[in-house]
Amino acid sequence: MKVAVVEGDGIGREVIPVAHRVLATVRPDIDFFPVEVGYGKWARTGCACDADDIAALKSADAILFGAITTPPDPGYNSILLQIRKELDLYANVRPVKGEGFDILVVRENTEGLYSGIEWREEDRSCTVRVITVKGSRRIGRYAAGRVRGHGGHLTIGNKANVLKSDVLFREICIEEAIAAGVHWDTAFIDALTLDVLMHPARYDVIVTTNMFGDILSDAAGYLVGGLGLLPSANIGDRHALFEPVHGSAPDIAGTDRANPIAAVRSAAMLLDHAGDHENAVLIGTAIEDVLSLGIRTADMGGVAGTRAFGDALVRALIRRKNS
């Protein structure tokens, strides 16, 4: 398996090396190669991500991605959006897992309110919300495929009571749930967001459109503590990119204070996606081992640095692997 490693900017350069080490420890057979994209590269070369970079990313079986600083500079375009588009990474997947609940938020990543069809007029400004049959079908199918056994079900988050475009989204997702033979229900996104926070144990896989999923997945992050813990995946039919939910955190970059857990859990999702469930679970267990020793970074109330946490994690992995 070939894995492209993109550290990116800021704390991406601190947490990704830890995740990389963890992957190399459990899977010495993986062929890693670095790809440099981001603001740092833009500042140096005037280009944040060129055609060769995209080709390199496309040549990988999976991508481990840190974070990219998006400067306020008007001459700079978001390259993560560019990468998602070029690699057609249509499903944004975020697990939200804690005591008694295990939710997967599946957000459509390519259309809806973020289709980029916008204009400004004299006295108003418009954004077009595009929902297509193709986009709804592939996200609905992906989400239905992720419904787990043991009474798992698909919840289709929508606002079809107001938006005609969501009548279509809901209809197509229901078709896909029926085709996959999974239990399903639908819920209006506003009430759903509150209910997920109040009764997380009621949910399994939730599928929704782009902006609703953006908001729901951040809100659900409340259930599991800070940004330093949350992994995510961007999945397409041919490519997949795994990244922590957090950004480049310029306020703590370069100080060895970043929590690498989100990045390491993203690496575990990468293995899971590649079919290596055993090592994905092993990584999760090793993280718990380290935390139970009281080794934590500052955001979790501890004193360990990023590198020291990584060292402890690699020791825990080796212990688990040999036991």
Active site residues per annotation: 114, 159, 190, 214, 218
Provide, rounded to whole angstroms, the least separation between the CB of residue 66 and ligand NAI: 7
Q: By CB under 6 A, name the one of 32, 299, 302, 308 that touches ligand NAI.
A: 299
Length of the chain: 323
Which of ligand NAI, Mg ion, none lies near 247, with the C-beta cut-off 5 to 8 A by kind?
ligand NAI
Closest CA to 272 of 242, 313, 305, 308: 242
Which of ligand NAI, Mg ion, none lies near 200, with the C-beta cut-off 5 to 8 A by kind?
none
Residue 257 to residues 39, 127, 171, 300, 307, Cα–Cα distance (Å): 21, 39, 46, 11, 9
Helices assigned H by DSSP within 200-276: 210-220, 261-273
Q: By CB under 6 A, name the one of 135, 247, 279, 317 that touches ligand NAI.
A: 247
Provide, rounded to whole angstroms, the least separation between the CB of residue 132 and ligand NAI: 25
Residue 96 to residues 105, 264, 272, Cα–Cα distance (Å): 7, 15, 16
Given the structure tokens 């990116």, which residue do they identify?
A: 8
Residue 295 is a binding residue for ligand NAI (CB under 6 A): no
Query: What is the spatial distance between Cα 135 and Cα 110, in angstroms, rounded to a whole number?
Result: 8
Residues in contact with Mg ion by CB under 5 A are 214
- Residue 176 or residue 214: which is nearer to Mg ion going by CB? 214
Site string for ligand NAI, 55-84 (x = CB under 6 A): ------------xxxx---------x----
Q: By CB under 6 A, name the one of 135, 243, 296, 313 that touches ligand NAI.
A: 243
Contact between residue 61 and residue 276 where contact means Cβ atoms under 8 Å apart: no
Phi, psi of 300 (to 5 degrees): -105, 15
Binding site for ligand NAI (CB under 6 A): 11, 15, 67-70, 80, 227-228, 243, 246-252, 258-259, 262, 299
